[in-house]
Amino acid sequence: MIKKVFDNFEELLGSVILVVMAVITFANVVTRYFILYALAFTEEVTIYLFVWLVMLGTAIAFKKGANLSMTFVYDKLPARGKKLCFFASTALSLAFFALLAYLGYVQVSDEIALSVTSPSLAIPMWWYTVSLPVFSVLIIVRIMQAAAETVRGDEFRRGC
Amino acid sequence: AEYKAEYKLDIVPSLTTAWGMGATYFTDLVRERSDGRINIKVYPNSQLTTGAQTNAFMLVRNGTIDFAVQSSINYSPQIVELNLFALPFFIANQPDKYVAMDAIKAGESGKLVVKAVEDKGVKFLAWGENGFRELTNSKREIRSPKDMEGMKIRVVGSPIFLDAFRAIGANPLTMNWSDTMAAIQQGVVDGQENPISTFYPVKIHEYHKYVTDWHYVIDPTMYVVNPAVWKTFSEDDQKLIQEAAEEAGKYMVALARISLDDGTAYKYLESIGKLPEITDWYKELANVGMTVSILTPEETRAFAEKTAPVVDEWRSKIGEEIVAAAEADMAAAAASK
Amino acid sequence: METLIHEPAFWTIALFIIPLLIRVPIAVALGSAAIFVVWNWDLGYQMLSYSFFSGIAKFPLLAIPFFILAGVIMEKVGIAERIIALIKQLVGDMTGGLAVATVIVAAFWGAVSGSGPATVAALGLILIPGMAEAGYDKAFAAAVVSVSAGLAIIIPPSISFIVYGDIMQQSVGTLFAAGVLPGIVVAAFLCVSVWLVSRVHGYRGAPRGSASEVLRALRDAFWGLFTPVIILGGIYGGIFTPTEAAAVAVFYGLFVGVFIYRTLTVRILYEILSETVAATSVVMIVVTCAGLYSWLGATVGLIDKIAALLLGISENPVVILLMINIILLFAGMLLDAISIAYVFLPILAPVIMAFGWDPIWFGVMMTVNMAIGQVTPPVAVNLATPAPYDGHDVALARRLSRSLMRRGTLWLHQ
Ligand code: NA
Ligand code: NA
């Protein structure tokens, strides 16, 4: 059970967030005709939850190897070349999200230290931005999991 | 310490606004007086914050940006005290709004504000000014709260602005300045509020025919620098930069006030030989086809009554001490005049 | 050489292209190139997290997840298959009947979906085996589906237009409106060309249904056919913004799935949601990193330089336009539409201004160009989806499409 939740954490939380975003936006359209202000303030919630969603979905994309990439050079390489490319590519992805995790952490710390508030609801900004460091770590975990699987399966021999 | 080959300075609008000119003047003065040793480059249009203007304070604080000329509004998510200038009709209701503004800058309340800014980790150099914020829209002439009912107004991403416009009965939307012109062109919003010297250069009159001169809040700007960068300058250079910022600030204030004050701004700009192209804003706005509605004190009062609860609510958020000090500073200035 | 090494503009380009060639995800290649240059030339790398956040958190971009969600719902609750059934009935056994039906279905589906590869995924599994059974060459069948799926980004809604609108500060609604007619024209040309090929090979369709069968198919498909009316009517009628229209389409699809077709189960809903989360992010991570990259290009002055270069080549607008089209076509062969938009548009914007071209018109032209790029090798996403398909085995097709999904090609070029 716990493993199942861990394996599908992004899908579960991401689905919930997507539902919330869709409901708020739809409710906004409906209420705009009845209430003067509609739920204008909820725009903040939707667009910032969108960041949560994209970070979670990026973790899914790395888990499933679904990110856009250019494969036509890679496909023509021999197994050794593919292996080299694979390690270089994995290392670069890890480095990028490690930097994002670190800088996101610094941003969140600064925002907590300065009690920065959000533009419409004036709630703590870090409630939204915390998605950057936390889910960057999740993305890093997923990159490593997928890489381990690739190495174990020795997928370089096959045309990938 | 070693100086950088080039320092970065962040502003929100384009270089052609009073804001942009005030920033450029500062960098010119510093370059000239340091014989080219200290070079500061102005990055307009929120380039350094990739459009997210309310992040500017954080990025100066952590050293991503060296210098900034920033409006108090864009720093208010981090420094709640700066909402003092965004209290609706707080300064506009004074007998002379410019005297009142200067009294705050020079007085006890100004010191408290500067202290709040520096406590949060940014070195303050000088005050500038964007001017009082006026309202433009594409729908109709606005002279009373009723005229604004349900109107979609773009405001900067700061809660006090949302509160004020809701209290009046309008429908405010927050948006970055970098997205605003597109929203205006597409009719996503009906109106916006900004100082004349900010909205005129972007040709707002091509979309908005109506200006309401209600000067409900003022937008003072601050010349600031990252404290670590500041420490790298020699004492002489610190003095040089400080003076340049103060002079540029005076220039910027005059640009924001020309033809709107008692003539002081015009005289000052003339004396330094930097009179701008446009020296009469109301005439120019009429020239480009805008209907300028200058509110009478009674009309202004109708708006102020609507927003009085917002002022009450925000007094405590900003800090009673600062608001009271500002009232005292303004009263003293009015009395001595 | 010495000077090249000290030139941030050089590194901006090199550090993007080299990782791209060794199969680094496009987003990571764009993002890390940007951040390396920012760090090395001391432009303040700490802005990464701030830019990343504000690059995603934009209201117009919210239309992307909602339009993807709406498309996936419409496919999974069975709207796609009902539209196919109807068009097949209508076209009948004329020469190239099934191929022409495929183009028309793709045009219709284009008015629901904003993505080419998603259209291939929704329609290919039914249409390709169907054509193969009727005696069409499989490669031809696959090609017809892939090429017609390009209509999805020309005919609104379109993720390409949403991204273009974001970069060029143009109204997405106006872009949508401008895409309708070119989409129909392209569809008409496609009909003619598949008809010509079919005549040579003697391909035909299935016999036309009886009047009552047609009527039943129409009744079945009615709810699906109504979707474009809601989306486009809502936007042009000034009732919704594109983002709101997308959200309304989502709830309309759910309504049809739950109350009309009764095909929506909790399991399918979960599948729909998680697939949308992944597909959205594959697009958005490129949007974000490409945004960072193009911001850097502007900051280091690269964009001004290339734009000046381009303007210096000729004063003749026809020459420049031809050249731009060749460049875009070439870029479209290699890169996805979103990266192209972010990398090239800031460069092209001053050129568009200098010649006084209408940015809406340019956006449509560019999008048609991208639609061609989606089916042009070596990186032809629409083609990649059904091309390796062989045999009539649906299970194989499903496995293939799943593996392609895993490789991410499905949503490439959105
Ligand atoms: Na479409
Ligand atoms: Na291609």
C277-289 tens-digit pLDDT: 999 998 899 989 9
> What secondary structure letter does DSSP report for C95?
B
Q: Which chains touch A (3 or more CB pairs under 8 A)?
A: B, C
**pLDDT band for position A33 (cuts 50, 70, 90):** low
Chains in contact with C, counting 3 or more C-beta pairs less than 8 Å apart as contact: A, B
pLDDT of residue C407: 33
Please give the full DSSP string across B44-70, using - where no structure is assigned.
-TTGGGTT-GGGHHHHHHTTSSSEEEE
Set of chain C residues whose Cβ sits within 8 Å of the Cβ of A104: 49, 52
Cβ–Cβ under 8 Å, residues B70 and B310? no
| Cα(C400) to centroid(ligand 2), Å | 20
Instruction: Select from B4, B59, B188 the Cβ nearest to the Cβ of C50.
Output: B59
With a pLDDT cut of 90, the percent of chain C lying above it is 20
Of C382, C403, C384, C371, residue with least CA distance to C159: C371
Supply the pLDDT for residue C414. Answer: 32
Work out the pLDDT band at B34, boundaries 50, 70, 90.
Answer: very high
Task: Return d(Cα C329, Cα C313) in angstroms, integer.
Answer: 19
Of B58, B79, B166, the CB nearest to A110: B58
Please state, rounded to an integer, the average pLDDT across all residues of chain B. 92
A70 and C379 within 8 Å at the Cβ level: the answer is yes
Q: How distant is the Cα of C55 from the closest Cα of chain A, in angstroms?
A: 9
Q: What angle do CA C105, C107, C110 make, to 5 degrees?
A: 105
pLDDT of residue C406: 34
Distance CA B142, CA B144 (A): 6
How far off is chain B from A89, nearest CA to CA, in Å?
A: 27
Ranges A61-75, C22-36, C176-190: which has the least confidence = A61-75
Residue C72 has pLDDT above 80, yes or no: yes
Residue in C with minimal Cα distance to B52: C54
β-strands B67-71, B221-225 pairing:
antiparallel
Residue A41's pLDDT is: 66
Distance CA C194, CA C132 (A): 15
Of the listed ranges A135-139, B243-247, C100-104, the least confidently predicted one is: C100-104
Restricting to A residues 78-137, those with a Cβ less than 8 Å away from any Cβ of C are: 84-86, 88-89, 92-93, 95-96, 99-100, 103-104, 106-107, 128-129, 132-133
Q: State the residue range of the domain holding C158.
A: 29-39+51-413
Residue A44 confidence (pLDDT) above 70: yes
The mean per-residue pLDDT over the stretch B211-234 comes to 95
pLDDT in the model for residue A157? 62
Phi, psi of C210 (to 5 degrees): -70, 165
C46 and A129 within 8 Å at the Cβ level: the answer is no
Residue B261 is predicted with a pLDDT of 93
Interaxial angle between packed helices C159-168 and C359-373, expressed in degrees from 0 to 180 and rounded to the nearest 10: 140
CA of B110 relative to ligand 1 center, distance in Å: 56
Chain B residues inside the 8 Å CB shell of A120: 157, 159, 162, 174
Q: Has residue C387 got a pLDDT over 70? A: no
Partner residue facing A40 (CB), from B58, B80, B171: B171
Residue C22 domain-assigned (yes or no): no
Q: What is the DSSP letter of B278?
A: -
How far apart are alpha carbons B63 and B164 in whole angstroms?
Answer: 34
C113 CA distance to ligand 1 centroid (A)?
A: 5
Average pLDDT over residues B263-275: 95
What distance in Å separates residue B182's CA from the closest CA in chain C?
Answer: 5
User: Looking at the predicted structure, is the pLDDT value of residue C412 above 90?
Assistant: no
Chain B residues with CB under 8 Å of C42 CB are: 4
Burial B263-293 (b: 16+ CB within 10 A, else e): eebbebbeeeeeeeebeebeebbeeeebebb
pLDDT of amino acid C382 = 57
* Chain A residues lying within 8 Å of B120, measured CB to CB: 114
Please report whether residue C239 resides in a domain: yes
Q: What is the mean pLDDT of chain A?
A: 88
Structure tokens at A73: 């050079």
Q: Rounded to a whole number, what is the distance in Å from the CA of C249 to chain B's nearest CA?
A: 21
| 2-61 in chain A: CB under 8 A from chain C | 8, 10-11, 14-15, 17-19, 21-22, 25-26, 28-29, 43, 46-48, 50-51, 53-58, 60-61
What is the pLDDT at residue C281? 93
From the list A129, C298, A119, C53, the residue with the least C-alpha distance to B48 is: C298
Look at A37 and B120 and tell me if their CB atoms are within 8 Å. no
Q: Is pLDDT at C374 greater than 80 in this prediction?
A: no
* Domain-embedded: residue C279: yes
The predicted model gives C2-10 an average pLDDT of 76
Mean pLDDT within C95-113: 88
Q: Judge whether B115 and B74 are in contact, CB under 8 Å.
A: no
**For position B274, what pLDDT does the model report?**
93
Q: Which residues lie across from B136 on neighbouring strands?
A: B192, B211
Position B326 pLDDT exceeds 90: yes
Q: Is C181 a member of any domain?
A: yes
Task: Check: CB of residue B281 under 8 Å from CB of residue B258.
Answer: yes
CB contacts of A4 in chain C (<8 Å) are: none
Average pLDDT over residues A71-87: 88
Mean pLDDT, residues C161-167 taken together: 88
Which residues on B lie below 8 Å from C169 (Cβ)? 179, 181-182, 185
Residue C63: inside a domain: yes
B87-145 confidence digits (pLDDT tens):
999 998 898 999 999 999 999 999 999 999 999 999 999 999 999 999 999 999 999 99
Residues in A touching B78 (Cβ below 8 Å): 114, 116
Residue C394 has pLDDT above 50, yes or no: no
pLDDT at A132 over 50: yes
- Spell out which residues of chain C touch residue B186, defining contact as CB-CB under 8 Å: 171, 173-174
Shortest Cα distance from B163 to chain C (angstroms)? 21
| Model confidence pLDDT, tens digit, residues B37-53 | 999 999 888 888 876 77
Partners of residue C27 in chain A, C-beta under 8 Å: 67-68
| C24 lies in some domain | no
First to last CA, chain B: 47
Kindly provide the b/e burial profile for residues A108-145, where b requires at least 16 CB atoms within 10 angstroms of the residue's own CB: bebbeebebbbbbbbebbbebbbbbbbbbbbbbebbee
> Which one has a higher pLDDT value, C92 or C256?
C256
pTM of the predicted structure, to 2 decimals: 0.85
pLDDT (0 to 100) of residue C404: 35
Which residues of C fall within a CB distance of 8 Å from A27? Answer: none
Residues C114-121 have a mean pLDDT of 81
Where does the pLDDT of residue B56 fall: very low under 50, low under 70, confident under 90, or very high at 90 and above? confident
Residue C45 lies in a domain: no
pLDDT at C396 over 70: no
Q: Which residues from B are below 8 Å from C when comparing CB atoms?
A: 4, 8, 43, 47-52, 55, 58-59, 62-65, 179, 181-182, 185-186, 188
- Chain C contact probe: residue of B41, B64, B174, B176 with most C CBs at under 10 A: B64
Indicate the Cα dihedral angle C76, C387, C290, A86, nearest 10°: 110
What's the total number of domains in chain C? Answer: 1
Contact indicator for B74, B194 with CB cutoff of 8 Å: no
In a domain, C5, yes or no: no
Chain B residues in contact with C295 by the CB 8 A cut-off are 47, 50
Q: Does C261 touch chain A (CB under 8 A)?
A: no
Residue that has been written with the tokens 């888990």 in this structure = A63
Identify whether the C-beta of residue B2 lies closer than 8 Å to the C-beta of residue B61: no
The residue among B183 and B86 whose pLDDT is bigger is B86
Q: What is the ipTM of this complex?
A: 0.83
The answer on pLDDT for C384 being more than 70 is no
**Mean model confidence pLDDT for chain C:** 82
List, for residues C126-144, the tens digit of each pLDDT value: 888 888 888 888 888 888 8
Q: Which of A57, A64, A69 sits opposite C25 (nearest CB)?
A: A69
Residue C390 pLDDT > 60: no
Which burial class, exposed, middle or buried, applies to C376 when counting CB atoms under 10 A from its CB (0-12, 13-18, 19+)?
Answer: middle
Quote the ligand 1 centre to C67 CA distance (angstroms). Answer: 9
Q: From residue C111, how far is each of B172, C163, C330, C402 by CA, in Å? A: 33, 17, 27, 25
> How distant is the Cα of C44 from the closest Cα of chain B, in angstroms?
4
- Is it the case that residue A58 has pLDDT exceeding 90? yes
Q: pLDDT tier at A85 (50, 70, 90 boundaries)?
A: very high
- Give the ligand whose atoms come closest to the C-alpha of residue C375: 2
CB contact under 8 A, C21 and A70: yes
Q: Is the pLDDT of residue C395 over 70?
A: no
d(CA C372, ligand 2 centre) in Å:
7
C-alpha to C-alpha distance for C307 and C291, rounded to whole angstroms: 18
**Least CB-CB distance to B65: which of C44, C45, C58?**
C44
pLDDT of C206 > 60? The answer is yes
